[in-house]
Structure 1
């Protein structure tokens, strides 16, 4: 715990939000890449066996601290000096707390799932839940990264009173995230039964079924990330965003008791899926008067059909062929080819979005 406490100090020096607000993502991405590579090299050099767990924690924590610290020199050059007596920090206290509550609520039910599994089933089931969740969230990071990029864009347009631009960006972002999350969801479901034993070993086979169920949250969180992070937060509707997270936490806690009791690990996964779906449904209900939900989902069927067309052959191969990393990679590549081909054939909106991005990059 002493070693982990370095992360608290590191968090105090984290000013990546400043660069996010200024839309200077290049600097933070380069910082993160450099620090992760440095951290990985240090792990390979200094970590020899399981007794080095404290040293491992120190390496990871120090890499976070140094990574955050590297953003300061440029910030100090860029910012103007102000008098301390001119600062009024406490006016931001209540808005900061309202932003803090959903973070706590979302962390609460993730931790509670593991704890309840440990108490009601056993510690092994709790570990399986954690490992499944780690892999799902790793994939999900690619989709939710759009929220980090879009939030300052939308906030800027809202500050200028350009609601038409806000909605246009939101519709495009929702379509783009859908185009990413459908294949991620069907892809993970298609290879999960093979991926878990290959990645963790055969002793961890139950993680495969858990991932198969939890893959649904990729789509749910992708959508709620667009509505919540890219719309409700930038347009200062924090209360509705917070309420949606609390609704998800309450649903999760209530469902955990019967579902874990009757179905153990898989029950906890279904509880997670339903709670994330409730967050998404609540947010969509909250914006029904502001956004055209029919327009929001108008082209989604194309990604759904493309995802199913990808899932069927990949899942069949996954259950009928011997498990190996080579075959797993080939199945992933096959899935990507099928999905992209289907999206191109059906002329899904994301095709035009990609073309526009390529044109802008050339200019």
Structure 2
């Protein structure tokens, strides 16, 4: 458990940096590139992500799981190179297709050319190896350094809306360098082995099976965005993309725990430790509920004031889109526990695929119906439907691994505390005559105090467990220092 906590803290620190990076860069980039430039970047990125999707298939998920269950260095090396050969082969084919697309594309050709580095970065992505070995520290520290470098480059060189191409290139080169440097520690750990055809082909079917839900997810995440751009214009894509960035920042804190638990759950399932699996799911589920519900209602409460100063006056339409999109935080958190940590870890990929596919189909139908009359708001509702349906179906398929009554009680408890927090933010914060930025800070402080007070009044055992662990950790640190 200590290693899980350590890995989570390292992953969380990286997620916090990912959060801080946009908090620093988005207000600047939004004003420099303007809504049209931001929309063009979001549209181009959506197209590029489709190619990246087919480049990596489901290897990040599948690879980390397979690495986790290897018993010795020989088997580990063999498994890694067997899987990576598939990744490299598919990536080369995808790169050829991308180059053909690049020369055939009419608009934004220079931006697509800059993103060749993004495709190459996906080819070199071997973070799944370190996640599988639970060596989160190595990936985190290197990514921290690259992210900080990326922030500096954006502020140093992106000056006006004419620098859109430079902005895209800097993001792509930062991503590429981040993946490239991960190979340094990897090559020191593994030994080169001759890999047979059978060693490679045995992975193809499970990778493709697991790829189906990943493809379905991207259909409603990326394709819906492309449809929005074609129907309503790239500026609407910009409003949608900016809202989605904020949601991803917040949910990154929650999904970090899924990255950590998947390899451990796969190992426990291999050893048929069902009791331990249920224990981990209970811990993970409590964590998701205690964090995502207040995050959702807190974000809805602060959005009107937050959007005004964070994005600027040109992004007023983000208000409605962001508030409607906020419940996605809860759905993604639940889907992460029931889908990735439970169904995938216990070799029930087919059930996970069904839940995601059904959500994607519902999303496409809703988007086609609403995108023309409602533009970005319609696509947001489609996203909400997809995530909600996927989470509920995953929960149904994983029902034997958790207690529904306990889940319902916890959900209602955290919902009650979050609603009180929401009204406190909504009615108390306007009493303060301060700047918009200060107001957001005040709202967050009020929300945090009210929510934690509510949990104390509810005598929440999970909160007291966390506080007890913190107390023991501080006490242990003082003993070591003395």
Please state which band the TM-score falls in when normalised by the shorter chain. Answer: over 0.9
Q: Which runs of 5+ in 1 are unaligned?
A: none
- Please say if 1:217 is aligned against 2:319: no
Q: 2:247 aligns with which of 133, 136, 146?
A: 136
**SS of residue matched to 2:264:** helix
> Is contact 2:306–2:436 with CA below 8 Å preserved after alignment?
no
Q: Which residue of 2 aligns with 1:57?
A: 168
Number of residue pairs matched by the alignment: 363
- In the TM superposition, residue 349 of structure 1 has moved relative to its aligned partner by 3.1
Q: 2:127 aligns with which of 1, 7, 16?
A: 16
**SS of residue matched to 1:29:** helix
Q: Which residue of 1 aligns with 2:217?
A: 106
TM-score (norm 2): 0.71
Q: Which residue of 1 aligns with 2:60?
A: none
- In the TM superposition, residue 282 of structure 1 has moved relative to its aligned partner by 0.8
Structure 1 range deviating more: 266-275 or 244-253: 266-275
- In the TM superposition, residue 19 of structure 1 has moved relative to its aligned partner by 0.8
Q: 1:306 aligns with which of 403, 417, 423?
A: 417
**SS of residue matched to 1:88:** helix
Q: Distance in 2 between matches of 1:353 and 1:239?
A: 36
- Please say if 1:163 is aligned against 2:267: no
TM-score (norm 1): 0.93
- Please say if 1:337 is aligned against 2:449: yes
Q: Distance in 1 between matches of 2:466 and 2:251?
A: 20
**SS of residue matched to 2:402:** coil
Q: Which residue of 2 aligns with 1:174?
A: 285
Q: 2:140 aligns with which of 10, 13, 29?
A: 29
- In the TM superposition, residue 212 of structure 1 has moved relative to its aligned partner by 1.0
Alignment of 1:59-138 (within 5 A): 59-85=170-196, 88-138=199-249
- In the TM superposition, residue 7 of structure 1 has moved relative to its aligned partner by 1.2
Q: 1:42 aligns with which of 153, 159, 163?
A: 153
> Is contact 1:128–1:204 with CA below 8 Å preserved after alignment?
yes
- Please say if 1:279 is aligned against 2:279: no
Q: Which residue of 1 aligns with 2:257?
A: 146
- Please say if 1:235 is aligned against 2:346: yes
Q: Which residue of 1 aligns with 2:24?
A: none
- In the TM superposition, residue 220 of structure 1 has moved relative to its aligned partner by 0.9
Partner deviation per Cα, 1:5-62 (whole Å, 9 max, x = no partner): 1111111211111110111111111111111001111222233333333232222222
In structure 2, the CA distance between the partners of 1:291 and 1:350, relative to structure 1 (3 Å rule), is closer
In structure 2, the CA distance between the partners of 1:203 and 1:316, relative to structure 1 (3 Å rule), is farther
In structure 2, the CA distance between the partners of 1:355 and 1:44, relative to structure 1 (3 Å rule), is same
In structure 2, the CA distance between the partners of 1:21 and 1:204, relative to structure 1 (3 Å rule), is same
Q: Which residue of 2 aligns with 1:259?
A: 370
**SS of residue matched to 2:193:** coil
Q: Distance in 2 between matches of 1:227 and 1:81?
A: 37
Partner deviation per Cα, 1:117-153 (whole Å, 9 max, x = no partner): 3444444333211211111111111111111111111
- Please say if 1:200 is aligned against 2:311: yes
- In the TM superposition, residue 262 of structure 1 has moved relative to its aligned partner by 4.8
- In the TM superposition, residue 87 of structure 1 has moved relative to its aligned partner by 6.9
- In the TM superposition, residue 206 of structure 1 has moved relative to its aligned partner by 1.7
Q: Which residue of 2 aligns with 1:326?
A: 438
In structure 2, the CA distance between the partners of 1:328 and 1:256, relative to structure 1 (3 Å rule), is same
In structure 2, the CA distance between the partners of 1:34 and 1:223, relative to structure 1 (3 Å rule), is same
**SS of residue matched to 1:105:** helix
- In the TM superposition, residue 332 of structure 1 has moved relative to its aligned partner by 1.0
Structure 1 range deviating more: 326-335 or 126-135: 126-135
Q: Which residue of 1 aligns with 2:98?
A: none
- In the TM superposition, residue 160 of structure 1 has moved relative to its aligned partner by 1.4
Q: Distance in 2 between matches of 1:114 and 1:85?
A: 41
In structure 2, the CA distance between the partners of 1:71 and 1:125, relative to structure 1 (3 Å rule), is closer
Structure 1 range deviating more: 253-262 or 104-113: 253-262
**SS of residue matched to 1:131:** helix
> Is contact 1:299–1:349 with CA below 8 Å preserved after alignment?
no
**SS of residue matched to 2:202:** helix
- In the TM superposition, residue 99 of structure 1 has moved relative to its aligned partner by 2.0
In structure 2, the CA distance between the partners of 1:357 and 1:237, relative to structure 1 (3 Å rule), is farther
